[in-house]
Amino acid sequence: MVPVKKEFVNNMFSVEGKVALVTGATGALGKVLAKAYGYAGAKVIMTGRSEGKLKELEDEFKAENIDCCYVVADPAKEEDVQGLIKASVEKYGEINILAVCHGYNKPQNILEQSVADWQYIMDADCKSVYIVCKYVAQQMVDQGKGGKMVVVTSQRSKRGMAGYTGYCTSKGGADLMVSSMACDLTAKYGINVNSICPTVFRSELTEWMFDPESAVYQNFMKREPIGRLAEPDDFVGFALFLSSEASNFMTGGNYDCSGGYLTC
Ligand code: NDP
């Protein structure tokens, strides 16, 4: 029997010294994860389309001695993403972890939604994931040291919903893309690719759903074995796990992070 190694166990959750690239870093989940990587000793590259917000984050993180920088880029634009990889490597020499945290939705009934609006959601939530993962994967392959990719999709990738023909389709596509990328990238190049499928996490946009008096909250509680909606820390723990060596045997998975929403 191969004994468990003390040094491995002591360091298996560490991302210290790694270089982590976070898309959608200006968003609720991207921001908490970027900061968590920083607290855990990683060097953090934050990206998004809003320079003002990225600069604010950089100032905030640097005030806490987090080694970080930002690069403005639209994840759905190939040339932006190529520039992002170049700038990241110029700054830190390599990329070891990718966290895809950007996303967009504009719910509309299919009968009222234009094809252009639907395509915009598909580009923002699916095509962009392909572009970012493709170019980061190439960089990781060139480095020859493997890597970890964590893509945030949604619990809506597994269930339909009124007004969500764009969002559910793109998130479902991203989940299958993750599984397919694992087939391309893990055995040969040591790059683990997984997705996290969340339900509702507390953020500025979702705060209203946490009101126990609201119908939305009460409906969720009928199907939430855990008895509450999610806090940012619930996401951070899972994402750090999938970014670390502790999850070395996990790839191609679409992992539920919903407090058990799909179980009842
Ligand atoms: P937010 O809306 O807070 O932020 C997402 C970020 O994505 C924004 O800050 C924005 O950054 C970027 N973004 C917005 N629109 C686009 C677009 N059209 N194209 C590219 N980037 C865009 O989202 P959350 O942090 O709450 O969610 C993160 C991910 O998790 C998303 O994929 C979301 O779908 C998913 N999710 C979130 C849940 C939640 O409860 N929070 C539940 C289930 C899934 P910038 O403007 O700087 O580019």
- Atom of ligand 1 at shortest distance to CA of 53? 47
pLDDT at 126 over 80: yes
Ligand 1 pocket test: which of 55, 102, 202, 234 has the largest number of ligand atoms within 8 Å of its C-beta?
102
The pLDDT confidence band at residue 262, using thresholds 50, 70 and 90, is confident
| Residue 167 known to be catalytic | yes
- Side by side, the strands of the sheet bearing 97-100 are 68-72, 43-48, 19-23, 97-100, 147-152, 191-198, 254-257
Contact 204, 262 (CB under 8 A): no
Average pLDDT over residues 152-172: 96
- Atom of ligand 1 at shortest distance to CA of 26? 9
Task: Give the pLDDT of residue 232.
Answer: 87
Task: Give the pLDDT of residue 193.
Answer: 98
The pLDDT confidence band at residue 1, using thresholds 50, 70 and 90, is confident
Average pLDDT over residues 52-79: 98
> Considering the chain, what is the average pLDDT of its residues?
96
Q: Convert the pLDDT of each residue in 11-46 to its tens digit.
A: 999 999 999 999 999 999 999 999 999 999 999 999
Q: How far is the CA of 135 from the centre of ligand 1 (A)?
A: 20
pLDDT at 2 over 90: no
Task: Give the pLDDT of residue 109.
Answer: 98
Query: Out of 70, 92, 164, 167, which one is annotated catalytic?
Result: 167
- What's the length of the chain? 264
Average pLDDT over residues 176-199: 98
Q: Ligand 1 pocket by C-beta < 6 Å: which residues?
A: 24, 26-30, 48-50, 53, 74-76, 101-104, 124, 128, 152, 154, 198, 200-201, 203, 205-206
Q: How far is the CA of 89 from the centre of ligand 1 (A)?
A: 25
CA 194 to chain CA mean position, Å: 9
Task: Give the pLDDT of residue 258.
Answer: 92
Average pLDDT over residues 74-101: 98
53 Cβ neighbours under 8 A, 6+ residues apart: 26
Amino acid, res. 191: I
Closest among 44, 46, 45, 41 to 15, alpha carbons compared: 41
Share of the chain above pLDDT 70, in %: 100
Task: Give the pLDDT of residue 205.
Answer: 81
How far is residue 68's CA from residue 52's CA, in Å, rounded to a whole number? 16
* Max Cα-Cα span within the chain: 62
Cα 136-23-254 angle, rounded to 5 deg: 75
Reading the block at residue 224, the tokens are 């939430």
Q: Convert the pLDDT of each residue in 228-251 to its tens digit.
A: 999 988 999 999 999 999 999 999
Average pLDDT over residues 178-207: 95
Task: Give the pLDDT of residue 53.
Answer: 98
Residue nearest to atom 2 of ligand 1 (CA): 27
Task: Give the pLDDT of residue 264.
Answer: 80
106 Cβ neighbours under 8 A, 6+ residues apart: 117, 120, 121, 166
Reading the block at residue 3, the tokens are 């004994």
CB atoms closer than 10 angstroms to residue 109: 10
Average pLDDT over residues 211-236: 92
How far is residue 165's CA from residue 72's CA, in Å, rounded to a whole number? 29
pLDDT at 204 over 90: no
Task: Give the pLDDT of residue 75.
Answer: 98
Average pLDDT over residues 160-183: 98
Task: Give the pLDDT of residue 203.
Answer: 85
Q: Could you give phi then psi for residue 46, rounded to 5 degrees?
A: -105, 135
